[in-house]
Amino acid sequence: MKHKQSLGGKIFTSFNVVFITLLSLSMLLPFLHIVAKSLSSAESLTNGKVFFWPVEFTINNFEYVMQDAAIWRAFGISVLITVGGTLLNLIATASLAYPTSRPEFKGKKFVLIMVLFTMIFSVPLIPSFLVIKSLGMIDTLWALVIPGLISAFNFFIMRSFFMNIPSTLIDAARVDGLGELGILFKIILPLSKPALATLGIFYGVGHWNSYQSAIYFINDPRLYPLQVKLRQMIVSNEMVDTEANLTSMALSSPEGIQMATIIFATLPILLVYPFLQKYFVKGSMLGSVKE
């Protein structure tokens, strides 16, 4: 594959390398900084000694975070809505994407326009709150899963993937006596693993990061997901000068504990990526080649 590069090409390549290195460093270094801080002692933190390597290495911060029952509860909630919610998302999206991807379905234009509509106009908060409330979903985890069950964007990605599956294959399955549900689950989905993995990541990260809807639709602190908890821990440190006026200043969570919480809240979803990567690379090229 080796071939000579022109001068312009060389300049372009080296510029690319420099640019992309800088770009990735700008994302990686803050993360490293947080990791280093989460593993450093409180004293070195107040003295501002920590940059990219832990100073006075300690795992105290993590111990403190882990022994907090509230964090584990929130963690459990987050895992539940991420795993359960993503599964429901994929099933629902696929069952809408399959029929609309097939030419024999007549009403699909109308359905597509309706879906597109939700992509352009999003529902304001108060009406959606009223709907969720009248459906009795306030203070339940359903409020975090049902309203976003099918994301229009993800739906269109999945639909275009399904459209690339040859009709002849489906016809063959029909001839062999498979029903439509059977076709979806036995033919289409197994062929669509890259799409499922990609969209699974999109949905999963969305659920893992769910914060606002939890704040608005959930009142019971026992049902708060991890991100809400994380936000609380960060805010109590900013409290120095907000409205609250307390005699004995409540002990705010020190920086190291905050950083440990951030790592604790980010790591699990980060760990999912490598496992799905082989699908992910294929998946994100979806729709870029048209036969």
Partner 1 sequence: MKQRKRKNMFLAFILAIITAVVIAGCSSSEAGKEEKKEVDKKEVTDEKVAFSMAIRTLAIPHVENSPNINEDPYVKKIEEFTNTDIDIQLLPHNDYKTKMDLMFASGDIPDVVQGMGKFTNSGQSLVQAVEAGVFLPLDELIDEYGPNLKKFIPKEVWETQRFTDGKIYAIPQILSNPSRRATFVRKDLLEKAGLEVPKTVEETLEVLRAFKEMGVEQPFVARKGLSYSDTFFGAYDVQPLMELNKDGDPVPKYLDSANMKKAIQTYKTMYDEGLIHKEFLTQESNQYKDIIQSGKGGMFSANANVLNSWNKVLQASVPDAELAIIPSPVGTEGTNGGYVIYDPAFRNYFINAETKNPERIIQFLDWMVTEEATEFFTFGIEGEDYTKENGKINYKQAEAPDEVNKEAFRTGWLWLTGDAAYTEGLLETTPEGQQLLDTYENVLAKEGNGGITFEPPLTTFTGKPDMEDKNADGHSEYLHGHIVKMITGAEAVSDWDKVLEEWKKLGGDQYLKDAKAQYKEGKYYETTRK
Q: How far is the CB of 234 from partner 1 (least distance, A)?
A: 10
Instruction: Rank residues 192 and 213 by Cβ distance to partner 1 and give the closer one.
Output: 213
Q: Taking Cα atoms as reference points, which of 131, 91, 115, 67 lies closest to residue 260?
A: 67
Instruction: Rank residues 245 and 288 by Cβ distance to partner 1 and give the closer one.
Output: 245
Which residues lie closer than 8 Å to 78 by C-beta, 6 or more apart?
207, 208, 225, 226, 227
Q: Contact at 8 Å (CB) between 200 and 276?
A: yes
Instruction: Rank residues 104 and 238 by Cβ distance to partner 1 and give the closer one.
Output: 238
Q: Contact at 8 Å (CB) between 118 and 152?
A: yes
Q: How far is the CB of 103 from partner 1 (least distance, A)?
A: 39
Cα–Cα dist 139/152, whole Å: 26
Q: How far is the CB of 29 from partner 1 (least distance, A)?
A: 18
Q: How far is the CB of 15 from partner 1 (least distance, A)?
A: 29
Amino acid at site 117: F
Instruction: Rank residues 188 and 214 by Cβ distance to partner 1 and give the closer one.
Output: 214
E strand residue ranges, 16-166: none
Q: Which residues bind partner 1 (CB under 8 A)?
A: 43, 45-48, 68-70, 73, 124-127, 129-130, 133, 212, 215-216, 219, 221-222, 228, 231-232, 235-253, 255
Q: How far is the CB of 68 from partner 1 (least distance, A)?
A: 7
Q: Contact at 8 Å (CB) between 110 and 258?
A: no
- Return the axis-axis angle of helices 226-238 and 69-101, rounded to nearest 10°: 130
Instruction: Rank residues 228 and 276 by Cβ distance to partner 1 and give the closer one.
Output: 228
